[in-house]
């Protein structure tokens, strides 16, 4: 039994170590990178599915570290959340996005930018005043700022969440529920919340050939419309997907078919073109 115990330990230990070490190395480098120039925001256009016009952009975090190379946000964001570094990083993201709004609105006065908010940021007591401060400092029209939050904020019990959403809404900021349909939120929440957009998760969009996903996508669009919200589909990669989304009157689309996420200057160039189909 002792023997087996030791073997079991040896079997599990190396992989656990590798993960723990990787995590520590990422955390160490992230702390060093704070306030520096390793982080960048990329921007992925959102297009109106009727006109083909670019109506907004989503800011997506990119991190290139001298030791680690490009670190995928799916890896870096959870560590930033656990260490709460996301609060400081998130502040920089909001600030940079608002500065980018000022640049983009010189090209198109109606353009908006969306930032992703982590649940950790969403639960920080200063979020609303922080965003308010950045809006005042940069002087942007708050209508041009969107926040994308996942359904998980709706699951947690939520007079707090409703209050934050109401306060953001009072500032004029637009709220988008990201990855809609993948969480377990009670739909009844939706009617009490000031939500402007539902973003249909790319897992449904990717396999629109699957009739179940087609049904879900249709249902989300219908639900949003009946609640006075708009819809955007993410992960649009093919002309067929675009066509289907157009026939069911989904408002906006985002995905590699239109454009991948771009560096700020490339995003500006694309916006000069204005239309993506
Ligand atoms: P998300 O918010 O759902 O973002 C969509 C992801 O899909 C992005 O990955 C984007 O590059 C990718 N994508 C866009 N179009 C397509 C497409 O047509 N096909 C496919 N297969 N993928 C597409 P990315 O940039 O790696 O970000 C992954 C996730 O990391 C995001 O998912 C978001 O949850 C998180 N994230 C990224 N940037 C930030 C940030 O600034 N703050 C926070 N809190 N989270 C972020
Ligand atoms: Ca998003
Ligand atoms: Ca998403
Ligand atoms: Ca996602």
Nearest CA to ligand 1 atom 17: 235
Higher pLDDT, 22 or 4: 22
From 162, 203, 164, select the one nearest 182 (Cα to Cα).
203
Residue 173, token pair as written in the block: 């900021």
**Which segment of 64-78, 96-110, 157-171 scores lowest on mean pLDDT?**
157-171
Place of tokens 């990329």: 42
Residue 197, token pair as written in the block: 């957009």
Place of tokens 């929440």: 189
Atom of ligand 1 nearest to the CA of 44: 14
Average pLDDT of the chain, as a whole number: 92
Evaluate the CA torsion angle 109, 165, 231, 235 in order and state its sign: positive
Atom of ligand 1 nearest to the CA of 201: 3
What's the pLDDT score for residue 12?
A: 55
Give the gyration radius of the chain's Cα atoms: 20
DSSP β-ladder status, 39-48 and 112-116 = unpaired
Torsion of CA 221, 185, 205, 173, to 10 degrees: 70
Residue 185, token pair as written in the block: 């939120």
What's the pLDDT score for residue 40?
A: 98
Segments in the chain forming alpha helices (H): 2-33, 73-82, 85-104, 119-122, 127-138, 152-155, 159-171, 202-206, 211-226, 239-247, 264-273
What's the pLDDT score for residue 156?
A: 64
Q: What is the number of other CB atoms lying within 10 angstroms of the CB of residue 47? A: 25
Ligand 1 is surrounded, with C-beta below 6 A, by: 44, 59-61, 72-74, 77, 93, 116-118, 148, 178-179, 202, 234-237, 255-256, 261
**pLDDT interval class at 60 (50, 70, 90):** very high
| Distance in angstroms (rounded) separating the CA atoms of residues 38 and 88 | 14
What's the pLDDT score for residue 2?
A: 43
What's the pLDDT score for residue 140?
A: 98
Place of tokens 């353009």: 111
Residue 85, token pair as written in the block: 């570094």
- pLDDT at residue 3 above 60? no
Place of tokens 């990201």: 178
Nearest CA to ligand 1 atom 45: 116
**pLDDT interval class at 183 (50, 70, 90):** confident
Element (H, E) at 179: strand 174-180
What's the pLDDT score for residue 1?
A: 40
Higher pLDDT, 105 or 160: 105
| Distance in angstroms (rounded) separating the CA atoms of residues 190 and 224 | 9
Give CA 148 to chain center in angstroms. Answer: 5
Atom of ligand 1 nearest to the CA of 236: 18
Q: If you average pLDDT over residues 136-155, what whole number do you get?
A: 94
Partners of 56 in beta bridges? 46, 112
Q: What is the 179 CA–ligand 4 centroid distance (Å)?
A: 6
From 40, 32, 27, 112, select the one nearest 76 (Cα to Cα).
27
pLDDT digits (tens, 9 = 90+) for 212-258: 999 999 999 999 999 999 999 999 999 999 999 999 999 999 999 99
**pLDDT interval class at 77 (50, 70, 90):** very high
ipTM rounded to 2 decimals: 0.98
Element (H, E) at 55: strand 54-65
- pLDDT at residue 146 above 60? yes
């Amino acid at each position: 039994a002792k023997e087996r115990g030791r073997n079991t330990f040896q079997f599990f230990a190396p992989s656990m170590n590798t993960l723990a070490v990787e995590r520590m190395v990422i955390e160490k480098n992230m702390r060093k990178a704070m306030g520096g120039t390793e982080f960048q925001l990329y921007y992925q256009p959102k297009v109106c599915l009727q006109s083909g016009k670019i109506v907004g952009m989503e800011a997506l975090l990119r991190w290139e570290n001298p030791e680690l190379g490009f670190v995928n946000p799916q890896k870096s964001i959870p560590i930033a959340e656990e260490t709460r570094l996301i609060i400081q990083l998130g502040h920089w993201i909001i600030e940079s996005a608002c500065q980018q709004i000022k640049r983009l609105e010189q090209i198109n006065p109606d353009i908006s930018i969306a930032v992703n908010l982590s649940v950790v940021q969403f639960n920080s007591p200063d979020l609303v005043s922080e965003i308010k401060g950045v809006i005042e400092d940069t002087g942007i029209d708050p209508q041009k700022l969107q926040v994308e939050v996942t359904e998980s904020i709706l699951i947690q019990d939520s007079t707090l969440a409703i209050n934050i959403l109401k306060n953001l809404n009072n500032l004029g900021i637009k709220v988008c529920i990201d990855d809609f349909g993948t969480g377990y939120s009670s739909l009844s929440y939706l009617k009490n919340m000031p939500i402007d957009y539902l973003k249909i998760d790319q897992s449904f969009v990717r396999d629109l050939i699957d009739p179940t996903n087609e049904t879900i996508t249709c249902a989300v669009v219908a639900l949003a419309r009946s609640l006075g919200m708009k819809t955007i589909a993410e992960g649009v990669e093919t002309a067929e997907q675009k066509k289907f989304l157009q026939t069911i009157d989904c408002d906006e689309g985002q995905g590699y078919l239109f454009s991948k996420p771009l560096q700020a200057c490339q995003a500006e160039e694309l916006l000069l073109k204005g239309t993506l189909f």
